[in-house]
């Protein structure tokens, strides 16, 4: 399996790499660089690189507020890089980070139109707990919990 390098994005160039992957996978919620900077301040973000090119990214939303034991782990892989084991590497790193933050419950969220992402989540033991459409959107988000 090709080896990825993983980097917590620091600086606009790396944040833009995370942004690009996110925006390709979640076209219903295109983020500006300012929005990515804000997310980086409250979540743990990583970018996966193969030979210097971004192939995927993760977000770990730490436990907080009403859910002090629940973290959200999101792994994204660009379509042209799927089915090569990259999602597994991203997911495992994000899961380890969430658990290191004290999470005992792990959730994820996948855009309903992302059939690869839903299959991946289900294959890793996640089950659907909610489905919703944000105001102004037409495609649902699917919340899943690791069982």
Alpha helices (runs of H) in 27-103, residue ranges in sequence order: 33-42, 86-100
Mean pLDDT of 104-114: 95
Question: Structural domain boundaries of the chain?
Answer: 5-106
> Class assignment of domain 5-106?
alpha beta
pLDDT tens, 39-93?
999 999 999 999 999 999 999 999 987 778 999 999 999 999 999 999 999 999 9
Mean pLDDT of 120-130: 96
pLDDT band at 1 (very low <50, low <70, confident <90, very high): low
Count CA atoms closer than 13 A to 53's CA, side-chain side. 7
Q: Counting runs of H as helices and runs of E as strands, what totals does the chain give?
A: 4, 7
pLDDT at 65: 76
Other C-beta atoms lying within 10 Å of the C-beta of residue 103: 23
pLDDT at 42: 95
Q: Are strands 141-146 and 70-77 parallel, antiparallel or unpaired?
A: unpaired
pLDDT at 67: 79
The answer to whether residue 6 scores a pLDDT higher than 90 is: yes
């Amino acid at each position: 399996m090709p080896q990825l390098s993983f980097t917590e994005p620091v600086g606009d160039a790396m944040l833009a790499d995370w942004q690009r992957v996110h925006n390709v996978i979640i076209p219903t919620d295109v983020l500006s660089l300012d929005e990515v900077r804000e997310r980086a301040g409250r979540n743990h973000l990583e970018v996966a690189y193969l030979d210097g090119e971004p192939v995927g990214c993760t977000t770990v939303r730490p436990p907080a507020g009403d859910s002090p034991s629940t973290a959200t782990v999101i792994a994204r892989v660009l379509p042209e890089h799927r089915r090569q084991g990259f999602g597994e590497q991203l997911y495992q790193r994000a899961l380890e980070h969430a658990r290191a933050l004290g999470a005992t419950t792990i959730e994820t969220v996948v855009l309903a139109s992302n059939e690869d992402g839903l299959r991946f989540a289900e294959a890793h033991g996640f089950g659907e707990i909610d489905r919703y459409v944000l105001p102004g959107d037409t495609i649902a988000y699917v919340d899943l919990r690791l069982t």
